[in-house]
Structure formats: C-alpha cells, structure tokens
Amino acid sequence: MAGVILAAGASRRMGAGRNKMLLQLEGESLLRRAARRAVAAGLSPVVVVLGHEADRARAELKGLSCDSVVNPDFTGPTSGSLHKGLEQLGSDVLAAVVMLGDMVLVTEQMLSGLVAAARGTEAPLVVSRYGDVTAPPLLFRRALFGELLAWSGEGCGKAVVQAHRAEAVYVDWPGAALTDVDTPEDFATAQTLLARS
C-alpha cells in the first residue's frame, strides 16, 4: 500500500506569507509530521506532493524514506496535486492511502487502520468517517486510479468517493481528528487539542 500526501498548497489563509506546512507542532513541521506517520504506518512508497516553497519543504523530509514531486500549478485545484502523486506510483502499486498534510491529528494508527480494513475486503475504497462527515485519509485501490486521474476539483477525489460510496468500507474516527490547519486560529486549536491529549 502506497501513501500520497498532498502538501502543495499556497497557505493563502495563513497570512503574512507563512507556509503552514513548515509550522512547528510538537517539535516538527506539519510536513515532516505527516510524512513520518505515513512511513511509520508501513505505507510504501510514500510520495509527498510539494508546491509552495518546494525546496524548503523538501529539506523537511531529509532522512525519511519517502519521495517528493512538485506540482507547479499548486494554486490550482487539489486534483492537480493528487494526479501528480498518483502518476509517481509504479504499476505494482495496488492501492494508495491519500492524506492531507494539514490534517495534523491523523495518526499512524489511523493510517494502519485503513490498511487493515482494506485487507479484509474487496471494496474499491476505504473511507474515514468522523461522525456524519467523510474525509481523508482515504484508501483507493488501483481500480479507481483511472477515475481519480480523470477527475478535476477540490478535495481528495470527492466525486469518485461519492460515486462508489455504496461499495465503500467505512472506518470511524473521533471527530477531533478531522482538525486541519488553514488559518492561525486553526493552528492554535490544533496546539490546544494536542496539549490536552
């Protein structure tokens, strides 16, 4: 099972030219935190899609067993980054877990849980569910890669997930794990949640 981490965005809502993927949380950048957890969960290969300040971001991955690719159109829709990540995967990759670098409370255990759920089923995708909300990380089997590559828009293949929701396997996680970091307020919330845990 491969991992694709989407971490290319321009961080426009963070303000003052700050790149959210380089913000430090518990002593490491958001980017390194996401990549380290993907590797620790046994995902291989792990492809990190970079864009905004790609050279600075790549330096954060030093020493981790992962590859990176740059999406030059990182201000465009998320689908462009997803396509770049999937295109890096060899034909031997049978499934990929797609995750967002800014969902800072996604744990190694959650990623492993998706993989474990996939092993017990032939379903084409395994979807994370937080109460009534479905969101990344998402596990897609190769059978859906073509649809993902043909899709354009925001989110992690949202239309493809919707099209196959009746066939999907769902794994439930706590609502707090849905936290993502787009604004300074989001970052403060994430720090508070981690301080309590």
* pLDDT tens for each residue of 38-81: 999 999 999 999 998 999 999 999 999 999 999 999 988 999 99
In tens, the pLDDT along 91-135 reads 999 999 999 999 999 999 999 999 999 998 999 999 999 999 999
- Give the C-alpha separation, 29 to 57, whole Å: 9
| 96 to 53, 93, 197: CA distances (angstroms) | 25, 7, 29
In terms of phi and psi (left: phi > 0; alpha: psi -120 to 50; beta: otherwise), the region of 141 is beta
Question: Side by side, which strands form the sheet with 67-70?
Answer: 67-70, 46-50, 2-6, 95-100, 133-141, 125-130, 169-172
Stated pTM of the model: 0.95
Structurally, what CATH architecture does the domain formed by 2-196 represent? Alpha-Beta Complex (3.90)
- Give the C-alpha separation, 118 to 139, whole Å: 8
- Give the C-alpha separation, 38 to 44, whole Å: 8
| 110 to 19, 82, 114, 115: CA distances (angstroms) | 26, 20, 6, 9
In tens, the pLDDT along 74-92 reads 988 999 999 999 999 999 9
In tens, the pLDDT along 129-174 reads 999 999 999 999 999 999 999 999 988 899 999 999 999 999 999 9
Q: Is it the case that residue 25 has pLDDT exceeding 60?
A: yes
DSSP label at residue 126: E
Q: What per-residue confidence (pLDDT) applies to 47? A: 98
Domain boundaries, the chain: 2-196
